[in-house]
Structure 1
Amino acid sequence: MNIGSRLQSVRTSKGLSQRELAKRVGVTNSTISLIEQNKVSPSVSSLKKVLDGIPISLADFFTMDLAGDASDGPFYAADDLPDLGSNGVHYFLVGKRRGTRQMCILREVMPPGSDTGETMLSHDGEEGGVIVQGQVEITVGERVRVLGPGEAYYFESRTPHRFRNVGNEPAILVSANTPPSF
């Protein structure tokens, strides 16, 4: 997917200049320009911050051209889960086309060494998940812990947080958050 041209398209459809979006987000307009030209590939946390300035959710940003492509459930094949990730981190969303979705369920795949970005994530609600495979370092506020298969986490999402694969194999997580932030 061409993230840069999609961002430009969404931004212009909302009547925003690069300068206005940059001002809303607290970055320089050259940062927005570099993303739109695909000269920089933003981390998930950076992209979410930019999209919050429009505002549009990560899910809507990545799947806006897929409306009506799949069933409303209740069952979903693996290839019916749109990938909302970037920079090698994959977030496969369950139930995207469900109009009244009140939670977000993701199957996450993180390559070795990948993370959600240097900027800590923070948003309304709660989130939790289970590590299925690999070793994931999770930072929640000042607390840091490496979790492995079968271990889990649950916290208030307004607390700044980030995830990092510290293992030598892809990490796989199944997570949920409410309200849906993807």
Structure 2
Amino acid sequence: MDIGARLQRVRMAKDLSQRELAKRVGVTNSTISLIEQNKVSPSVSSLKKVLDGIPISLADFFTLDLDAGPPDSPFYGAGELPDVGSNGLHYFLVGQHRPQRQMCILREVMPPGGDTGDAMLRHEGEEGGVIVQGEVEVTVGDQVRVLRAGEAYYFESKVPHRFRNVGDGEAVIVSANTPATF
């Protein structure tokens, strides 16, 4: 992804000059210019600081379809749910183009043996979900439980956690978390 060009398009769509954005963020306008020309590659925290001046979240910045018009429907077809997953895990994102999304809703599909990795996840916010199909081992802190279709979870995301499909078939979860991570 061309971060610089994307930043420029988002900034211009919000009718902000480089100088105005720089002033809001507390950097020089040459810093914004260098980022937009891809002569400087900002760290995630630096990019977040710049995006806060627009304002737009990291999640919206990376998923926003800059060619799409404003959302005019609260409904999404299966083909309108982009897969933002990786490593064999599929995370189908609901409401990708909704501006200023406050939560992330996903339809997660895990192959047999699929998991979120050896390292426990942890981040700000809360998350919850319902197992729609299969058997998923959910670890939250020192608690571990295998959940089956119809069962659910809800916890503070700063507690270390991970998910693993322990069944023979695909596992499907519908989950939500705040703030939006994708």
Q: Would you call these one fold, judging by a TM-score over 0.5?
A: yes
* 1:96-141 deviation per Cα after TM superposition (whole angstroms, max 9, x unaligned): 1111211111100001111111121111111000000001011111
Contact 2:125 2:158 in 1 (8 A): yes
Structure 2 residue aligned with 1:15:
40
* 1:5-40 deviation per Cα after TM superposition (whole angstroms, max 9, x unaligned): x4xx449748238xxx5xxxxxxxxxxxxxxxxxxx
The answer to which of 148-157 and 100-109 deviates more is: 100-109
Shift of 1:178: 1.1
Contact 1:123 1:181 in 2 (8 A): no
Matches of 2:39 and 2:164, distance apart in 1: 33
Q: Give structure 2 stretches of 5+ with no counterpart.
A: 5-34, 49-56
2:79 alignment partner, SS class? helix
Contact 2:60 2:99 in 1 (8 A): no
In 2 relative to 1, CA 73–119 (structure 1 residues): closer, same or farther, beyond 3 Å? Answer: farther
Look up the equivalent residue of 1:128 and give its one-letter code. Answer: G
What is the aligned-residue RMSD (CA, Å)? 2.6
Shift of 1:73: 2.8
In 2 relative to 1, CA 53–64 (structure 1 residues): closer, same or farther, beyond 3 Å? Answer: same
Q: Give structure 1 stretches of 5+ with no counterpart.
A: 1-5, 22-50
Look up the equivalent residue of 1:159 and give its one-letter code. Answer: V
Aligned residues: 142
Structure 1 residue aligned with 2:75:
75
Percent of aligned pairs with the same residue? 61
Matches of 2:67 and 2:166, distance apart in 1: 36
Structure 2 residue aligned with 1:160:
160
TM-score, scaled relative to structure 1: 0.68
Look up the equivalent residue of 1:178 and give its one-letter code. Answer: T
Matches of 2:163 and 2:84, distance apart in 1: 16
